[in-house]
Amino acid sequence: MSSFEAIAREFSLTAPAAVAIGAERIAGEGRTLSVRSPVDGRRLAELPAATAEQTARVVERAARAFQAFRVVPAPRRGELVRRYGEALRAKKESLAELVTWECGKIRQEALGEVQEMIDVCDFAVGLSRKLEGSTLPSERPNHRLMEQWHPLGPIGVITAFNFPVAVWAWNAALALVAGDPVVWKPSEKTPLTALACQSLAAGVIAGFPDVPADVVSVVVGGADVGEELASSRLLPLVSATGSVRMGRRVAETVARRLGRSLLELGGNNALVAAPSADLELATRAIVFGAVGTAGQRCTTLRRLVVHRSIADALVTRLGNVYQRLPVGDPFAAGTLVGPLIDEAAWLAMSRALGAAESQGGRLLTGGTRTFSGVPEGGVYVRPAIVEIDAAAPIVQEETFAPILYVHRYEALTDAIAINNSVPQGLSSAIFTTDQREAEAFVGPAGSDCGLANVNTGTSGAEIGGAFGGEKDTGGGRESGSDSWKAYMRRATTTVNYGAELPLAQGIEFDA
Ligand code: UN1
């Protein structure tokens, strides 16, 4: 196990303050927040949380910073993000270590998460020279019609514990090249990683005399801090990742003031295993998707929809792998399943298993808490597989824990219907070597999710594509492709370079 004290010193987190803006640290004036490690339950920090009033002051400073930041040329803002990416490269190992301490994900996945930050920085750097608008033909002579993308304003970012740093980076890297300051409310369960990212950023910004220090800030606090971000008219966009319940509240509050929200909420992701599936590949993808990050990704595989003809073979294979799954210390080489975030997560898992059983489900493996060979004080579980009818109510819910429900199907149309039968619409996958089936699944009458994969699992998306989903998942798109447009405002501009004033639609109006 690594030394938390050494990591805390490296990121100046021995006496953390709830508000970090530029290089300034301001102690919170709210109730005391205790940060515990899911690895062994030890207390990592104790700090007073920020209040709504303190949040409002940070937002005001971000709004002032926007005035100067929006006229810094985009490629220069890209250079800032490039340097931040370099700072992350230099700190990859230690930031990943802090991620494991604070959210419990295994070392490999923590390194992957920091890599995801680096990747999105690289993407944003290129983007900073390519925030292009269109030039369109005008119907009037000697006129030019064009669209320009301008910085939008300061952005509020609310993130969850399970990706304590990468999801902020998806937002921040794009927002910064777009010319927008970022005010970040991390999960109360993972404030230290956020403060570490902010101070790394503050260090980079210090080398840019033309960039206001206040463009990157963190406010550690509870729902009142999130509520303040959602209701502040100074924030034209609030990007929120987390539960459907939280997202609905944010969306309602932001909509009341006609602001924009970008939501990445719950998933309830299915994988269809068709008769021609490569069972070896499918098994590996299912296991990574269902037990990776201890089942606590929004992209976690929660439902396996398997064709009757291969169901027994696939379930037997899965059972064998599940029985040997190394559960334990997330720092130890070889561990594949780390701890759940806290006791409440185990409670939710055992409740869901109880409900499944009472709704006719059959527990095939796992589903128990384990105390042997794991660090004391953490919540460690054996991932569960439950065979259950696709119509059982429990299957409609996202339980943030490693439970995989198995349903059997006969016809592909039924499998697709099952895939689409839940309120959430984030990720989905089909394993098949039949091209017709694959195309049907990713086509217009196929999966209704924002992510639809073939022969690769539901989790572990690259940053290059737009990430997000439909229905209760909230409809937002983050990270790659043209997601940057959410962080900018579009101005349509008509320029008349002639000596006449022709009106559009041929209107005659001679005063
Ligand atoms: C999340 O769980 O909120 O596709 C994000 C994935 C990761 C991101 C997950 N790249 O699993």
Which residues of the chain carry a pLDDT beneath 50?
none
* DSSP-assigned letters across all residues of 21-69: ETTEEE---S-EEEEE-TTT--EEEEEEPPPHHHHHHHHHHHHHHHHHH
Residue pair 378/343 in contact by the 8 Å Cβ criterion: no
Q: Please tell me if the CB atom of residue 461 comes closer than 6 angstroms to any atom of ligand 1.
A: yes
Which pair of structure tokens corresponds to residue 425? 């619409």
How far is C-alpha 119 from the geometric centre of its chain's CA atoms?
14
Q: Ligand 1 pocket, 241 CB below 6 A?
A: yes
The tokens describing 466, both together, are 């737009």
Q: Which two tokens stand for residue 78?
A: 């890209």
Beta bridge partners of 491: 148
- Does the beta carbon of 163 sit less than 6 angstroms from any atom of ligand 1? yes
The span from the CA of 134 to the CA of 125, in Å, is: 21
Atom 3 of ligand 1, residue of closest alpha carbon: 298
So what's the pLDDT on residue 1?
57
Tell me, what's the pLDDT at 2?
A: 73
Tokens 């049907």 belong to: 440
Q: Rounded to an integer, what distance in angstroms lies between the CA atom of residue 91 and that of residue 101?
A: 15
For residue 503, how far is its CA from the centre of ligand 1 (angstroms)? 50
Cα–Cα nearest to 353, from 295, 409, 298? 295
Count of H helices and E strands in the chain? 13, 23
| Cα–ligand 1 centroid distance for 443 (angstroms) | 23
Enumerate residues 6+ apart whose C-beta is below 8 A from 192: 8, 11, 13, 16, 35, 44, 45, 98, 101, 102
Q: How many CB atoms lie within 10 A of CB 435?
A: 10
Cβ(338)–Cβ(348) under 8 Å?
no
Q: Tokens standing for 460?
A: 């572990």
Give me ligand 1 centre to Cα 279, in Å: 24
Segment 10-54, tens digit of pLDDT:
999 999 999 999 999 999 999 999 999 999 999 999 999 999 999
Enumerate the active-site residues: 264, 298
> Which residues is 156 bridged to in the sheet?
183, 238
Asked if residue 299 has its Cβ within 6 Å of ligand 1, the reply is yes
**Using a 6 Å cutoff on CB, does residue 288 contact ligand 1?**
no
**Under 8 Å between Cβ of 473 and 425:** yes
Closest CA to 11 of 272, 176, 193, 268: 193
